[in-house]
Amino acid sequence: MIFTTRFAPSPTGPLHLGHAFSALCAHDAADAAGGVFLLRIDDLDQSRCRPEWEARIFADLAWLGLAWAEPVMRQSDRLPRYRGALGSLWERGLLYPCRCSRADIRAAASAPQEGAPLHGPDGIVYPGTCRPARPPTGPMPDLPLRLDMARAMAALSAPVEFIETGTGPRGETGRIAPHDLFFSVGDVTLARPGLGASYHLSVVLDDADQNVTHVIRGHDLFDATAIHIVLQGLFGLPVPVYRHHRLIRDENGRRLAKRDDARAISTYRAAGLSPIDIRRMVAPTPDAPEHVSPPRGS
Ligand code: GLU
């Protein structure tokens, strides 16, 4: 199996130094292993994605000196694939429609008998308001669909004691027991009308269809990895090796956001910095600063 990894940005804003770091980590790992580095465009949310941001992703990564294998996969081209996979989970009774708004979920999760609401990888853990006693039947509705996590765990072909979720920035390994996955992650949304599929479903299918052997991404996704491994189990897909790198932060310790133009790759480029300077700024060396500052004068 050829070492294959990927960088999968969403074209919803400028790439910043956090993205540069993530792309460099994946690219350099593929290079060191004599493997393949892929670029994938996560453009499922067409209301937020723009062709001009996509063009800037290509330009910024090429300027950084990265090369990727063609063709570039775009999630917006893959809706039938996602729909088919959702259909198979629906047929197996593992999905249910959910009509709750965010406010409903907040209210239900904050009810006195529930204790403090728990937060999982997708926000407040869904309290199960719409979860049916028996799996729904009939055609799959065009409504938000949630994975019934307890049923999903029971449907895995081999019972699991722990789900190993790869390594974190300090080499620590992640593991979560099925019981904890149910309570701390819960029934995640896998389909939204208008978007087709959720990030969790699409990323799992994309990685499998692209024969990705190593997923190298930020620590913010450590908890989501367990969801992805459950989905791989349900679909009978191979589980890649997961590595989660540290996050690049600003002077206040906050991780960089898409709207953070001051730390956009293009801002440093316009200020005269070179790709080597960017590598130096984000390099995981012992003397690397804990945070990155905008270029002087911006
Ligand atoms: N588009 C996702 C993000 O930017 C990709 C995450 C992943 O690498 O799985 O967060």
Convert the pLDDT of each residue in 228-278 to its tens digit. Answer: 999 999 999 999 999 999 999 888 888 887 777 889 999 999 999 999 999
CA 150 distance to own-chain centroid: 22
pLDDT at 231: 97
Contact 5, 214 (CB under 8 A): yes
Answer yes or no: do 239 and 297 share one domain.
no
Which of 217, 219, 223 gets mutated to test ligand 1 (max ligand atoms within 8 A of its CB)?
A: 217
Is the CB of residue 9 below 6 angstroms from any atom belonging to ligand 1?
yes
- DSSP conformational letter for 221: G
Answer yes or no: do 221 and 254 share one domain.
no
Q: How confident is the model at residue 158 (pLDDT cuts 50, 70, 90)?
A: confident
pLDDT at 290: 58
Is the CB of residue 166 below 6 angstroms from any atom belonging to ligand 1?
no
Determine how β-strand 36-41 pairs with β-strand 69-74: parallel
Residue 60 belongs to domain with CATH number: 3.40.50.620
What does the pLDDT look like over 22-47, one tens digit per residue?
999 999 999 999 999 999 999 999 99
Q: Which residue's alpha carbon is at the smallest distance from atom 10 of ligand 1?
A: 9
Tell me the C-alpha distance between 69 and 290, whole Å.
32
Answer yes or no: do 126 and 183 share one domain.
yes
Q: State the closest ligand 1 atom to the C-alpha of 215, by its place in the atom list counted from 1.
A: 8
Which of 221, 222, 258 gets mutated to test ligand 1 (max ligand atoms within 8 A of its CB)?
A: 221
Answer yes or no: do 219 and 135 share one domain.
yes
Tell me the C-alpha distance between 174 and 221, whole Å.
11
Q: Which residue's alpha carbon is at the smallest distance from atom 6 of ligand 1?
A: 8
Q: How confident is the model at residue 297 (pLDDT cuts 50, 70, 90)?
A: low
Answer yes or no: do 70 and 84 share one domain.
no
Helix, strand or coil, per DSSP, at residue 67? coil
Answer yes or no: do 239 and 106 share one domain.
yes
Closest CA to 46 of 146, 190, 193: 193
pLDDT at 205: 98
Is the CB of residue 8 below 6 angstroms from any atom belonging to ligand 1?
yes
pLDDT at 218 over 70: yes
Is the CB of residue 207 below 6 angstroms from any atom belonging to ligand 1?
no
Tell me the C-alpha distance between 6 and 217, whole Å.
9
* Tokens 């088919």 belong to residue: 84
Provide the domain limits for residue 183: 79-245
Which of 42, 207, 222 gets mutated to test ligand 1 (max ligand atoms within 8 A of its CB)?
A: 42
Name the domain count of the chain.
2
pLDDT at 142 over 70: yes
Stated pTM of the model: 0.93
Q: How confident is the model at residue 293 (pLDDT cuts 50, 70, 90)?
A: confident
Percent above pLDDT 90 for the chain: 78
Which residues are within 8 A (CB) of 12 and not within 5 positions of it... i.e. 6 or more apart?
45, 48, 49, 50, 53, 258
pLDDT at 286 over 60: no
Which residues are within 8 A (CB) of 6 and not within 5 positions of it... i.e. 6 or more apart?
26, 37, 38, 39, 40, 207, 210, 212, 215
- DSSP conformational letter for 16: B
Q: State the closest ligand 1 atom to the C-alpha of 207, by its place in the atom list counted from 1.
A: 9
pLDDT at 102: 92
Largest CA distance in the chain: 62
pLDDT at 115 over 90: no
Answer yes or no: do 100 and 239 share one domain.
yes
pLDDT at 221 over 60: yes
Answer yes or no: do 157 and 130 share one domain.
yes
Sheet with 36-41: strands ordered across: 4-7, 36-41, 69-74
Answer yes or no: do 218 and 104 share one domain.
yes
Phi and psi angles of residue 188, each rounded to the nearest 5 degrees, phi first: -75, 155
Ligand 1 centroid–CA 220 distance in Å is: 10
Q: In the Cβ-directed half-sphere of 146, how many Cα atoms lie within 13 Å?
A: 22
Q: State the closest ligand 1 atom to the C-alpha of 217, by its place in the atom list counted from 1.
A: 8
Helix, strand or coil, per DSSP, at residue 215? strand
pLDDT at 285: 55
Answer yes or no: do 236 and 253 share one domain.
no
Helix, strand or coil, per DSSP, at residue 279? helix
Tell me the C-alpha distance between 22 and 245, whole Å.
8
Mean pLDDT (whole number) for 212-221:
96
Averaged pLDDT of the chain: 92
Q: Which of 229, 245, 261 is the last residue of a domain?
A: 245
Answer yes or no: do 52 and 176 share one domain.
no
Q: State the closest ligand 1 atom to the C-alpha of 19, by its place in the atom list counted from 1.
A: 4
Answer yes or no: do 159 and 196 share one domain.
yes
Gyration radius of the chain's alpha carbons: 20
pLDDT at 298: 59
Is the CB of residue 26 below 6 angstroms from any atom belonging to ligand 1?
no
Ligand 1 centroid–CA 296 distance in Å is: 30
Tell me the C-alpha distance between 55 and 63, whole Å.
12
pLDDT at 66: 97
Range with the lowest mean pLDDT among 3-12, 89-98, 157-166, 189-198? 157-166
In the numeric block, which tokens belong to residue 146?
Answer: 């949630």
pLDDT at 148 over 60: yes
Q: Is the dihedral of CA 156, 213, 244, 50 positive or negative?
A: negative
In the numeric block, which tokens belong to residue 57?
Answer: 């992703």
Q: How confident is the model at residue 92 (pLDDT cuts 50, 70, 90)?
A: very high
Q: State the closest ligand 1 atom to the C-alpha of 6, by its place in the atom list counted from 1.
A: 8
pLDDT at 96 over 80: yes
Is the CB of residue 203 below 6 angstroms from any atom belonging to ligand 1?
yes
